Structure 1
Amino acid sequence: MTAPPSPRHAAATRGPAPLLRRPDPHGHAKVSFVELFFDLVFVFAVTQLSHTLIGHFSLHGVLQTAFLMLAVWWVWVFTSWVTNWLDPERIPVRVGLFTIMLLGLLMSAALPQAFEDRALMFAGSYAAIQLGRTLFFLWAVRGGDPTLARNFHRIGVWLGFTAVLWIVGAIDETWRVPLWITALAIEYLGPSMGFFVPGLGRSTTSDWSVSGGHLAERCALFVIIALGESLLVTGATFAAEPLTPLGVAAFLVSFAGSLAMWWLYFDTTNEFASGRIAHSHDPGRLARLAYTYMHLPIVAGIIVNAAADEFVLAHPGGHTDLKTAVCLLGGVGLYVTGVGLFKRAVMGRWPWSHGVAVAGLALAGLVVPSWPPVATSAFVCAVLVALAAWERHSRAACLPPDSAGMADEPSIGP
């Protein structure tokens, strides 16, 4: 993944209307209203993913939904890196974002039938976004820093190759799954391999300069989008079901669980992470690890938990069936693991409180089948609340002692 330019890069851009961001005197790049408007498409995408998981909960359905979530995340995070670089307040950049919005809306609409009747609609929209955004960036920085241009030439080669795989897979149903898996795997490997192209070389993260505050805020907003979907599922399902004491209890527990998820992510880590990146000796590498990769399990865990809320609210009594147990324990376990990995990336240490929570959730899988779903949901909520309280209480110990000075970043990751 590329990263936004330093002021030196911005100054190097030539032309009548430079489209690169101009950071404020403190080096911060503010999230614009255009970017917030852009995110609305992904509210719809997350809704489509959660409903697809709910409606097709089987091993096959779970794997397909996971694949689609990886694709949606990759479109969004690539675009967020580009807007970390380009100024969304400039008209050409706005037009580019609006075009991606239209294509993203088509892609999101196709998600439930992406592997069936709407494969070409999904793959064509996805490939057009990925390759078109890269070509637009090359046009936007024409005549500027040659290092920056070479970086996006490399990305264009990678995405041009995968675009062929996406389209051929959409046309040929027999080869669809292997071609699409190959295409997405190549794209996910690209940033960690510096988008190496023979004759063009590879990018190195030491050359990247990133606005940590902007990227942290963008990813935090996506977490909000996912949590918002969880609340929408809770409210819509509760409204559609008969009003019973068990239903009210399930509703309150689901809401409390969403609050605890919010608290765990936003109370102790997010603000520190942006400062850590801003003062890092290799901000591109740290941002790539912490935001491009480590936010995936966070978002995935929230989406799975939204499906769990639907299952519990629809059937709060009786015994906890397999799909409800998997979504409740697995969704929250995935989320807690993701937050722990994020903290490991930016703080240099794995919070052992998260390990205790994940172990507790795993052990609970042995006994929850005999519990009512509302009781299983209450247990999971209690784990989240206890973990959030633990992290809040130990916040000073959670942050490195040199956090004010932002010492060397942890030497982990790709």
Structure 2
Amino acid sequence: MPDNPAPRSLLRTRTGHHAQVGNVELFFDLIFVFAVTQLSHGLIEHPTPTGLLHTAILLGAVWWGWIDTAWATNWLDVDRPLVRGLLFVMMGAGVVMSAALPEAFDEHGAAFGIAFAFFQILRTGFVLWAVRNDPVLRENFQRILVWHAAAALLWAAGGLAPEDARLGIWLAALALDSIAPALNFYVPGLGRSHTGDWTVEGHHLSERLSLFTIIALGESILVMGATAAGLDWTFANAAALLVSFLGSVAMWWIYFSASAGAATETIASARDPGRIARLAYTYVHVIPIAGIIITAVGDEWVLHHPLGHTDPKTALAVLGGPALYLLGVGLFKLAVFGKISPSRLAGLVLLGLVAPFSLMLPPLALAAIATGVLIVVGAWETIALSRGAESA
């Protein structure tokens, strides 16, 4: 894209300096606090294999809606009134979409499907118009619009379809959204995009993903706080609340270690930042977000029955959430640096060793062990980085 767009351009002016995340972007992200909370509550209410599958599909939709917008605002100048207006309209669609999440596979399917389709098409169509004077970006977003239009048609059709057909249609829609970037948005007659043409401002995109992680962690604290507020203040309940809180702190600690800044610099200075950002941010980053959501569900169940019997669903949430989180942040490190993180791998092994004994322990004890593993990983990485180790 041009280094110095015309004054009335809707695109960011690339000056070589770190582009700050705008206040309107932070405001926009608030709708996803609501969305993540809705996903957690939906899984709490439907702790079945089908409920987990439904939550995974809806998380996929929410993720693609957010990450596609994060990429769009990496190009768009959010200080322009038209761009702000776009984000406000999208927020309105996002509120409808998020409100419909708990019953998206029931009576609110049409509201979710149509709102999400509108969300995706409006944004991509606007960006295509905004980049109309840049031939490379224009061709890129022409391809993206074709893919998003095809997926949006399926999201809307699935919402309007009978409930027994909705799952298959939305799986197909999610598959289209998911494979498009990996295929470089190939469209017959229009060719394919190249990651080298995706002029990524690495610092901005990294900051956006960091903020989304904080949103997910904030949602977990919201869930545990709201649950604890409605319970009797016993020693066991207080201990469960403390363990849950420390687990969230440990997740923040692991994510925002010094390696996070190093990852940002690596992507920003890479010869092909679009390729690294596509893998590390677009694909891998949703895994730790899913881990945070599942951990929040486990926290809810532990808070309700800290000293009771640990059933399979509680064990899966309490151990599976942190495991999924460590897997995600480990894959993120691999995607950016090309190195396996020994600390995060060790954390996964420790959680795996605990799993066979999980049903023998009270929920509070199991949660304390899982939190302890996360704290060990965070401490390991901090100590290793302070000693100048190349990896942790």
- Range into which the TM-score falls when normalised by the shorter chain: over 0.9
- State how far apart, in whole Å, the 1-side matches of 2:198 and 2:156 are: 32
Runs (4+) of structure 1 exceeding 4 A deviation are: none
Query: How far has the Cα of 1:352 moved from its partner?
Result: 1.9
Aligned partners of 1:86 and 1:93 also within 8 Å: yes
Deviates more, 1:102-111 or 1:272-281: 272-281
Higher relative contact order (CA 8 A, sep 6+): 1
What is aligned with 2:381? Answer: 391
The answer for the alignment partner of 2:187 in structure 1 is 197
- Matching residue of 2:213: 223
Q: How many angstroms apart in 2 are the aligned matches of 1:179 and 1:357?
A: 37
Alpha-carbon contact 1:318-1:371 (below 8 Å) kept = no
User: Where does structure 2 lack aligned partners over 5 or more consecutive residues?
Assistant: none
**1:149 aligns with one of 138, 154, 157:** 138
Structural mapping, 1:142-291, within 5 Å: 142=132, 144-173=133-162, 174-291=164-281
**Deviation by residue 1:305-330 (Cα, 9 ceiling, x = unmatched):** 00111000110012211111100100
Q: Which residue of 2 aligns with 1:359?
A: 349
| Residue equivalent to 1:31 | 21
* Aligned counterparts of 1:52 and 1:312: Cα–Cα separation in 2: 17
> In the aligned structure 2, how far is the partner of 1:152 from the partner of 1:263?
37
2:311 is matched with: 321
Report the equivalent of 2:284.
294
- Whether the aligned pair in 1 keeps the contact of 2:323 and 2:348 (CA below 8 Å) is yes
The corresponding residue for 2:101 is 111
Q: Aligned residue for 2:86?
A: 96
1:374 and 2:373 equivalent? no
Equivalent residues of 1:205, 1:285 under 8 A apart:
yes
| Matched position secondary structure for 2:226 | helix
Residues 269-294 of structure 1: CA distance to partner in whole angstroms, max 9, x if unpaired?
22111110111011000011111111
Cα deviation, residue 399, structure 1: 4.7
Distance (whole Å) between structure 1 residues aligned to residue 9 and residue 31 of structure 2: 27
Kept in 1, the 8 Å contact 2:196–2:273? The answer is yes
TM-fit CA distance, 1:106:
0.4
Kept in 2: contact 1:312–1:373 (CA 8 A): yes
Match of 1:124 in 2: 114
Answer yes or no: is the 8 Å Cα contact 2:136–2:197 preserved in 1: no
| Distance (whole Å) between structure 2 residues aligned to residue 318 and residue 134 of structure 1 | 50
C-alpha contact (below 8 Å) 1:391/1:398 kept by paired residues: no
Q: Deviations over 1:193-252 (max 9, x none)?
A: 110011110001122221111011000000000000111111111111111111111111
Q: What amino acid maps onto 1:165 in structure 2?
A: L
Query: CA separation in 2, counterparts of 1:245 and 1:162?
Result: 50
TM-score by length of 1: 0.92
Counterpart for residue 22 of structure 1: 13
TM-score under structure 2 length normalisation:
0.97
Residue matched to 1:331:
321
In structure 1, what residue type is equivalent to 2:348?
V
The alignment of Structure 1 onto Structure 2 pairs a total of residues equal to 389
Separation in 1 of the partners of 2:204 and 2:89? 22
* Kept in 1: contact 2:113–2:157 (CA 8 A): no
- Report percent identity of matched pairs: 50
